[in-house]
């Protein structure tokens, strides 16, 4: 049974869900999600002999949501993960992330390889720092309509998404899934600043099989205090670029796994398909070629739980065998 509790780490209080015994696996959700994003993974990973912990990351769910926008940099988020591992009584852990949780996982492995036994990212590939501020680059490429730029307008997306929270989440999860019309056909998440993002998103009459009304209940409750804490992650994108300057050109060295869907918009971002092609050459410890899931959209571990669980368990066991061998 999954158990829940609060734990103090890195100056904030995080809500965590945990299940199982064995080597620690930390699962990091993305936007707009919560610990519940991993509900298909708890049982299989625990049955495979691992201790599974999924936090609501800072700004989400029942966890603290600092008022200061500057409290959501990648260094704060990595600090939360490292402190969580140690607060759980471990020196090292496996770290797995999806969507925004993937950059946190990748950067935890990049900045603190001494605490990461292995790292897996879903949807978002490993970070390779560009040569210019990200928001300016996207503003120039998409004339200010890229969703990162929209999210950086103070209070705007917060108000749009918070007006009807359940509808917002239903639209997000359907529109970015592999079930949505046109998914995987070169879609870029562009927003009309005057109309907002939701206006252009389809609202399904019937939910996909992988998304239930109970899932929406849990998600809606997790955003009962609004979206500002979650959106503050995006409001640090440029600051993250500045803060990570010392790691420019560095690569993730712990054993790694990357999984993505062929109908996910994120792997189609400018420059990302080329990066994915090069990963086996530039990632020294990528344990297998990137795993592409046919017909899968953005919500990787929810749309394709069986395939993701199989890949994760194989990866974790391979890492464990390698660790024991050394």
The residues annotated as belonging to the active site are 99, 298
Structure tokens at 116: 């990461």
The C-alpha atoms of residue 75 and residue 80 are separated, in whole angstroms, by 9
E strands, 51-207, are 51-55, 93-98, 116-122
**With the C-alpha atoms ordered 172, 233, 253, 93, is the resulting torsion angle positive or negative?**
negative
Bridge partners for 54 per DSSP: 17
User: How many angstroms separate the Cα of 246 from the Cα of each of 213, 230, 240, 283?
Assistant: 45, 26, 11, 19
Enter the tokens of residue 199.
Answer: 């206006």
Give dist(CA 32, CA 22) in Å, integer: 29
C-alpha–C-alpha distance, residues 133 and 141, integer Å? 12
Residues forming beta bridges with residue 146, ordered by sequence position: 190
Residues 311/259, Cβ–Cβ less than 8 Å: yes
- Classify burial at 299, counting beta carbons within 10 Å of its beta carbon; exposed 0-12, middle 13-18, buried 19 or more: buried
Cis peptide before 205 (omega within 30 of 0): no
Q: Do 188 and 27 form a contact (C-beta atoms < 8 A)?
A: no
Element (H, E) at 24: strand 24-28
C-beta separation of 126 from 106 below 8 A: yes
Cα 227 to Cα 34: distance, rounded to the nearest angstrom: 12
DSSP 8-state class, residue 281: H
CB 74 within 8 A of CB 37: no
């Amino acid at each position: 049974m999954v158990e829940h509790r609060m734990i103090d780490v890195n100056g904030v209080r995080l809500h965590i869900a945990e299940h199982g015994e064995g080597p620690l696996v930390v699962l990091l959700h993305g936007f707009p999600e919560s610990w519940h994003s991993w509900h298909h993974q708890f049982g299989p990973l625990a049955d495979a002999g691992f201790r599974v912990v999924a936090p609501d990351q800072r700004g989400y769910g029942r966890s603290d949501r600092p008022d200061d926008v500057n409290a959501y940099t990648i260094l704060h988020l990595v600090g939360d993960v490292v402190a969580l591992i140690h607060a759980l009584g471990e020196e090292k852990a496996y770290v797995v992330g999806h969507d925004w949780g993937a950059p946190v996982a990748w950067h935890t492995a990049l900045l603190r390889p001494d605490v990461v036994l292995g790292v897996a990212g879903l949807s978002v590939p490993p970070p390779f720092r560009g040569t210019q501020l990200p928001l300016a680059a996207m503003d120039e490429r998409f004339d200010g309509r890229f969703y990162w730029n929209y999210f950086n307008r103070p209070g705007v997306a917060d108000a749009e998404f918070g007006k009807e929270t359940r509808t917002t989440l239903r639209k997000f999860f359907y529109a970015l899934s592999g079930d949505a019309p046109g998914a995987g056909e070169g879609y870029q998440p562009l927003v009309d600043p005057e109309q907002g993002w939701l206006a252009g998103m389809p609202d399904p009459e019937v939910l996909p099989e992988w998304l239930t009304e109970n899932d929406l209940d849990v998600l809606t409750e997790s955003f009962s205090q609004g979206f500002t804490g979650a959106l503050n992650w995006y409001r640090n994108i440029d600051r993250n670029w500045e803060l990570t300057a010392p790691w420019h050109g560095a690569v993730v060295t712990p054993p790694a796994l990357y999984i993505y869907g062929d109908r996910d918009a994120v792997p189609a971002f400018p420059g990302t398909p080329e990066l994915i092609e090069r990963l086996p050459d530039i990632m020294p410890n990528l344990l297998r070629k990137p795993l592409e899931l046919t017909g899968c959209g953005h919500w990787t571990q929810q749309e394709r739980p069986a395939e993701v669980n199989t890949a994760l368990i194989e990866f974790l066991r391979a890492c464990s065998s390698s660790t024991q061998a050394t």
